[in-house]
Amino acid sequence: MPMSEHDHHTPPSDLALRVKALESLLVEKGLVDPAALDILIDTYEHKVGPRNGAMVVARAWSDPAYKARLMEDGAAAIGELGFTGRQGADIVVVENTERVHNMVVCTLCSCYPWPVLGLPPVWYKSAPYRARAVREPRAVLAEFGVTLADGVEVRVWDSTSEVRYLVLPRRPAGTESLSEDELADLVTRDSMIGTGLALTPGAKREPTP
């Protein structure tokens, strides 16, 4: 049983006050440096995001030797581009092919390759995806607008350890003449989780932030 009625059903409107009070307490006790908090927030809100992963994918599409290194040791190759840090010490890259489509989930919590994708979206951390991705992956893909050809094997990677998974989406046709930067623009966050495909050139959208 929970110890106090506050703990059991905190109405959402109290959360802001609760967190503020907790922060004040921890600052008062000299346990946190408020300026450090601001840098942590700025780093993951503005500096680290899926554009990192898009650049890794674009490099792998463009440079077969890089791709080979990426498939051999994901974290090391990703580190060559300067993307290192929390939740990315060990990264395995899984490649989509004509025969295999990969999808990543963390059924137990929200494990996600922060250095290449930033922080996970709410849907990735929520019960419907966590429950259904391993149970009915094709139905989940259909919700994301992805239909795979018959005979394609779906592999769902449940991130139960500290190894993090990054999907290498298939390179779209008609992209031979594109620069790495232009290729990166086609690589959506969802395509690197496996709930989407890379965009075809000419699809109108914002580049991956």
111 is annotated as an active-site residue? yes
Residue burial 110-132, b: 16+ Cβ < 10 Å; e: rest: bbbbbbbbbebbeebeeeebbee
Stretch that binds another protein, among 14-22, 52-60, 66-74, 174-182 (CB under 8 A): 14-22
Cβ of residue 69: shortest distance to another protein, in angstroms? 17
φ and ψ of 168, to 5 deg? -95, 105
Stretch that binds another protein, among 44-52, 57-65, 66-74, 166-174 (CB under 8 A): 44-52
Separation between Cα atoms, residue 115 and residue 9, nearest integer Å: 34
Q: What is the DSSP code string of 107-131?
A: SSS----HHHH-SPPHHHHSHHHHH
Separation between Cα atoms, residue 20 and residue 25, nearest integer Å: 9
- Residues in contact with another protein, counted by CB under 8 A, come to a total of 83
The rounded radius of gyration (Å) of the Cα atoms in the chain is 20
Q: Assess 159 for contact with another protein (CB under 8 A).
A: yes
- x/- string (CB under 8 A) for another protein, residues 54-83? ------------------------------
**Contacting residue, 71, 81, 134, 146, with another protein by CB under 8 A:** 134
Q: Assess 88 for contact with another protein (CB under 8 A).
A: yes
Separation between Cα atoms, residue 65 and residue 191, nearest integer Å: 22
126 is annotated as an active-site residue? no
> 178 vs 195, which CB is nearer to another protein?
195
Cross-strand bridge partners of residue 195: none
> 26 vs 62, which CB is nearer to another protein?
26
> 122 vs 173, which CB is nearer to another protein?
122
Cβ of residue 186: shortest distance to another protein, in angstroms? 18
Active site residues: 106, 109-111
